[in-house]
Amino acid sequence: MHSTLGRILRQAGFNNDNLPTDLVKWQKFLNRIGVFFTNIDYERKQLSQQPSLSKIMSAMGDGICVFDKQDKLLFANQAAENYLGAKYEQLQTTSILKRFKLYKIDNKLLSVGKIIHKIAQGDFQDNNAYLLGDINLPISCTFSPIIEADEITSIVLSFRDISEVKNTEAELIASKESAEKSSQAKSQFLSSMSHELRTPMNAILGYSELLKEDLGTPIEELNSEYTEDMLQYVNNILQAGWHLLELINKVLDLTRIEAGKLEVSIKKIELVDLIKESVSFITPQAEKRNITIDNTTANLSPNYALIDQGRLKQVVINLLSNAVKYNNDDGKITISLHQTDFNCIRIEIKDTGVGLTSEQKGKIFEPFTRLSGLNLIEGTGIGLTITKRLLEMMDGKIGVESEINIGSTFWIEIPTGEVIDNKEDFLKQDLRKYILLYIEDSRTNVSLVAQILKARPDIALMSAHTGEMGLKLAQLHHPNIILLDINLPGMDGFE
């Protein structure tokens, strides 16, 4: 009793040296003792109102099991008993691990010791496991080792039913597959219809051209007073026919792209001449509206890229055609070309036309998108969609900058594919003995390797800034050595 009282006095802040010596001090002392015990009662009451650990575990919806290194159950909460279909006492006589089918560990073949050894490396999570039973229940489970004195003494297993998640995933996969089948059916239908429509359309255009030639003979020879009107009618037929044929061809291109049947032939091509040819093709269309085309690339030295020549020309002509269509009369189009920081060349086509709003810029590359208020301008609404898809197939990209009533600048970036500064270096590569392909997205690192290889004139350096582009270069040129970065954008070095 005496020792207990002494301990309480020490907890209250008193010892043998500062006990009260008169009545007033004893009164204060007793008041402090009363406050001390009041606080103890309050703390005990608070603790009694807090749920115990066992109550918390029982209230959890996740199953919780604790087992030792011999796979003997040490604890199971109520949810675990419900999932496993047995009480704790019954579960103690069975293997806990053998009741689960793990996706990341083949626990049917490995011994318990090896399974626990794998789990013991740290927290181990498996979101594709199953609880075995009459109906295998999909679960997500986590194993966490309990370590005491640097030794694993037991393992905590928590798991939950993810049937609804799996069902939702299955529904999403089914919906995706259904949508893909519908898209394929649509593409096949459009492709078939486009082929079928082109045959009669070619006949219509062909006979219209013949009729136009006949109507071009002198009126007295035709003996008809309606020749001029008829000639205008034929011209209208031809104009509408060529427009319809253009639409058919674009729809056919789009369906081929979506079906993955449009192939591109990636080769080393020269860009300056390609742009000149594209400008020459579009100039008559621009002259009708007195639109000036300033081709700033005309006097540049040759620039080379790794691209499909025909498809790139299709892209440039389409962008130039749009720059004419959506420009103002007496307007201007400027074409420029320059090297970017990441082994790419950028071609920019700037116009002084109507411009685009922010909303229009966000939708401009979607299929069959026409600018509101500009429906009088002839177009199909899929040209930019095809342009974007073609560039993506060739590891390129497209973007637009625009201001209303100021104009738009459409730009494309295409891979150069090689560290080559001029035509002479380009031609000299064919005489070199070895090819080194460097797949790296840092232009600084590529330049460094290029400088190092100047001491080895027998090695030709090629570079790619993406894994996809590197694969194409490897297939095209069969390099002797490939150096690649591991952390590449998109497809990484391991892939």
Query: What is the DSSP-derived secondary structure letter of residue 351?
Result: E
Give per-residue pLDDT as tens, 409-454: 999 988 876 544 444 444 444 445 788 888 887 777 777 788 788 7
What is the domain partition of the chain in residue ranges? Answer: 2-49, 60-161, 182-258, 267-415, 423-484
Q: Hey, which residues does 268 pair with through a beta bridge?
A: 306
Please state, as a whole number, how many other Cβ atoms lie within 10 Å of the Cβ of residue 295. Answer: 20
Say yes or no: do domains 60-161 and 423-484 share a fold. Answer: no
Q: What share of the chain is helix, strand, coil (3-state, %, to 5)?
A: 50, 20, 30
Give per-residue pLDDT as tens, 91-147: 888 888 888 887 766 555 556 666 677 776 766 778 888 888 878 889 888 888 888
Q: Contact 73/88 with Cβ under 8 angstroms?
A: yes
Q: Give the range with max mean pLDDT: 114-118, 183-187, 303-307, 311-315.
A: 311-315
Q: Which of the following CATH numbers is that of domain 423-484: 3.40.50.2300, 3.30.1330.60, 3.40.50.880, 1.10.760.10?
A: 3.40.50.2300
Strand order in the sheet with 73-76: 73-76, 63-68, 151-161, 137-148, 124-131, 100-101
Distance, CA of 228 to CA of 216 (rounded, Å): 9
Question: pTM for the full model?
Answer: 0.51
pLDDT greater than 60 at residue 483: yes
pLDDT greater than 60 at residue 397: yes
pLDDT score of 422: 43
- 292 is written with which tokens? 């000036």
pLDDT category of residue 41 using cuts at 50, 70 and 90: low
Q: Contact 87/94 with Cβ under 8 angstroms?
A: no
Distance, CA of 179 to CA of 131 (rounded, Å): 33
Q: Contact 305/345 with Cβ under 8 angstroms?
A: yes
pLDDT greater than 80 at residue 71: yes
Provide the percentage of residues in the chain whose pLDDT is more than 70: 73
Which CATH architecture group holds 267-415?
2-Layer Sandwich (3.30)
Q: Which residues, including other chains, have CB under 8 Å from residue 204's CB and lie 6 or more apart?
A: 237, 241
Q: Which helix (H) or strand (E) holds 233?
A: helix 227-258
Query: What is the DSSP-derived secondary structure letter of residue 418?
Result: B
- 85 is written with which tokens? 């279909």
Which CATH architecture group holds 60-161?
2-Layer Sandwich (3.30)
